[in-house]
Chains A and B, each alone.
Chain A
């Protein structure tokens, strides 16, 4: 069965600290996609990144970086030099064939100044 586990329920850091959000997934599919979404306090869901199962290159976008490792079924998200505006709930999600995304339970990140 498809499953996404975000073991960290809540993380609190001080501004400028680096923080890594963990995501572990289970799937029997050989081709699949992994996603990260951000949900700020305003409540909307914002797409951050998509990664397919054939591309294990790490990706960096500004202060954000993602580490995809098939060997450990992990797709971790790192924020470098965190800022207060990074405070949000972050969801990792896994494609489920033609149906829909399966989401983890989310990690609440609080960044204090």
Chain B
């Protein structure tokens, strides 16, 4: 099983450019999440989805959009990249809500640099 797969692994953008990060999971999980990791800040939730066709805002949603058109995929978009969005982005999925028993299964991350 591949688990949670993120593409691309690395990306460099110029300010104002747009891009989409793709997250795919093959575990039939209902819940999917996008986090960003910055030095000294831990992981902060950007957006999440509780099922196909649903999305919701997390702690730091500004500047990002998401879509969950298929259960197995969760896309994170940056419409106009800013240097403050330089970060490592992690996608995760879980069978049920983390308030239940399921731990999060993480992808390997995408390192994004905005110049």
Interface residues of A (CB under 8 A from B): 6, 9, 29, 31-33, 35, 37, 43-45, 47, 50, 52, 91, 95-106
User: B13 contacts the other chain (Cβ, under 8 Å)?
Assistant: no
Q: Tell which of B41, B88, B109 touches A105, judged by Cβ atoms closer than 8 Å.
A: B41
Q: How would residues 7 to 26 of chain B score, 1 for a CB under 8 Å from any chain A CB and 0 otherwise?
A: 00000000000000000000
**Chain A nearest CB: distance from B50 CB in Å?**
7
**Chain A nearest CB: distance from B33 CB in Å?**
5
A-B contact sample (5 more), CB < 8 A, given A96-B99, A98-B50: A33-B100, A45-B106, A95-B97, A101-B45, A102-B45
Interface residues of B (CB under 8 A from A): 31, 33, 35, 40-45, 48, 50, 56, 58, 88, 90, 92, 97-101, 103-106, 108-109
Contacts of A45 in B (CB 8 A): 90, 92, 104, 106
- Does B103 lie within 8 Å of A47, measured CB to CB? yes
- Does A35 lie within 8 Å of B103, measured CB to CB? yes
Given A35-B103, A43-B108, A43-B109, is A91 in contact with B97 using a C-beta cutoff of 8 Å? Answer: no
For A48, give the chain B residue with the smallest CB separation.
B103
**Chain A nearest CB: distance from B25 CB in Å?**
14
Q: Tell which of A44, A100, A105 touches B40, judged by Cβ atoms closer than 8 Å.
A: A105
Interface pairs (26), CB distance under 8 Å:
A29-B99, A33-B98, A33-B100, A43-B88, A44-B108, A45-B92, A45-B104, A47-B103, A47-B104, A47-B105, A91-B42, A95-B99, A96-B98, A97-B97, A97-B99, A98-B97, A98-B99, A99-B45, A99-B56, A99-B58, A100-B31, A100-B48, A100-B98, A103-B42, A104-B42, A105-B40
